């Protein structure tokens, strides 16, 4: 019976909850419009908090993806015992698997769904991990574009951000400021409270993680 990896999806959820909690705390200190009050935050400051929260969420997502791939590549089952993402040729350890993925490079772009899909196609067989990535590929690409816009101000990142937000909302964003988008309300879903886009994206990534490593 294969060894089981630790609860990496649970770790991601905890990190996402922390990031969302920071933005929620900032909202409780929002400055009333056109009023100056000590200890309150302007809209620009709150939007900056949302951007930092997005970076934290995506950092956790990348760590999760790296961990999931390396554990599965080393022959581990998921925390629940599911081995639906087995390795074609198991590596001796997760450390050996990460060395293989890096292939002599200093960095692997775990957040790029296309690069990660190709890696999984090469090294994992009967991969539930791969199926989840392929199914969510467009959303993951859009989320990455939003995250990249927080970190970069180039025309390319701006265009990617506008394309990404349009892909998940169906309409053109009113602003190219990522914090403004992340703070905006996402469309209401049946039988669930309406949430801001930061929460929708964070929850979506946690849902994917729990499918990849149940």
User: What are the backbone dihedrals phi and psi of residue 194, each rounded to the nearest 5 degrees, phi first?
Assistant: -70, 140
Residue 101 has pLDDT above 90, yes or no: no
Do the domain assignments include residue 94? yes
Question: What are the pLDDT digits (tens) for 131-180?
Answer: 999 999 999 999 999 999 999 999 999 999 999 999 999 988 888 999 99
105 found inside a domain: yes
pLDDT at 167: 95
Average pLDDT over the chain, rounded to an integer: 91
Range of the domain at 68: 8-140+176-212
* 70's tokens: 């390396």
103 belongs to a structural domain: yes
Segment 179-205 shows an average pLDDT of: 93
pLDDT at 84: 66
pLDDT of amino acid 57 = 98
Domain count, the chain: 1
Identify the pLDDT of residue 134.
Answer: 95
Three-state secondary structure string covering the chain: CCCECCCHHHHHHHHHHHHHHHHHHHHCCECCCCCCCCCCECHHHHHHHHHHHHHHHHHHHHHHHHHHHHHHHCCCECCCCCCCCCECCCCCCHHHHHHHHHCCCCCCCCCCHHHHHHHHHHHECCCHHHHHHHHCHHHHHHHHHHHHHHHCCCHHHHHHHHHHHHHHHCCCCCCCCHHHHHHCECCCCCCCCCCEHHHHHHHHHHHHHHHHCC
Please report whether residue 145 resides in a domain. Answer: no
Q: What is the pLDDT of residue 174?
A: 84
pLDDT of residue 92: 83
86 in any annotated domain: yes
147 in a structural domain: no
Q: Are 108 and 123 in contact (CB under 8 A)?
A: no
Residue 133 is assigned to a structural domain of this protein:
yes
Let me know how long the chain is: 214
Q: Could you say which DSSP state residue 186 is in?
A: P
Per-residue model confidence as pLDDT tens digits over 50-85: 999 999 999 999 999 999 999 999 989 889 888 766
33 is a domain residue: yes
pLDDT at 14: 98
Mean pLDDT across 199-208? 97
What pLDDT does 35 receive? 67
**What pLDDT shows up at residue 66?**
96
User: What would the pLDDT profile of 5-22 be if each residue is shown by its tens digit?
Assistant: 999 999 999 999 999 999
What's residue 126's pLDDT?
A: 67
Please determine, for residue 115, whether its predicted confidence score (pLDDT) is greater than 70.
Answer: yes
Does residue 32 carry a pLDDT above 80?
Answer: no
124: left (phi over 0), alpha (psi -120 to 50) or beta: beta
């Amino acid at each position: 019976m294969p060894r089981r990896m630790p609860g990496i999806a649970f770790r991601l959820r905890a990190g996402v909850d922390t990031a969302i909690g920071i933005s929620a705390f900032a909202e409780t200190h929002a400055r009333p419009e056109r009023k100056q009050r000590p200890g309150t935050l302007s809209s620009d400051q709150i939007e900056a908090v949302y951007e930092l929260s997005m970076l934290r969420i995506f950092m956790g997502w990348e760590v999760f993806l790296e961990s999931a791939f390396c554990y599965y590549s080393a022959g581990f089952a998921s925390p629940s015992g599911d081995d639906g993402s087995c390795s074609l040729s198991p590596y001796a350890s997760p450390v050996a698997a990460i060395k293989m993925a890096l292939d002599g490079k200093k960095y692997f772009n775990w957040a790029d769904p296309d690069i990660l899909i190709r890696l999984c196609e090469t090294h994992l067989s009967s991969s539930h991990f791969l199926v989840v990535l392929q199914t969510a590929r467009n959303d993951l690409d859009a989320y990455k574009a939003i995250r990249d816009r927080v970190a970069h101000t180039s025309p390319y990142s701006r265009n990617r951000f506008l394309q990404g937000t349009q892909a998940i909302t169906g309409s053109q964003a009113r602003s190219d400021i990522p914090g403004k988008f992340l703070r905006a309300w996402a469309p209401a879903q049946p039988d669930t409270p309406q949430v801001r886009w930061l929460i929708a994206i964070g929850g979506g990534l946690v849902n994917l993680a729990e499918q990849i490593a149940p």
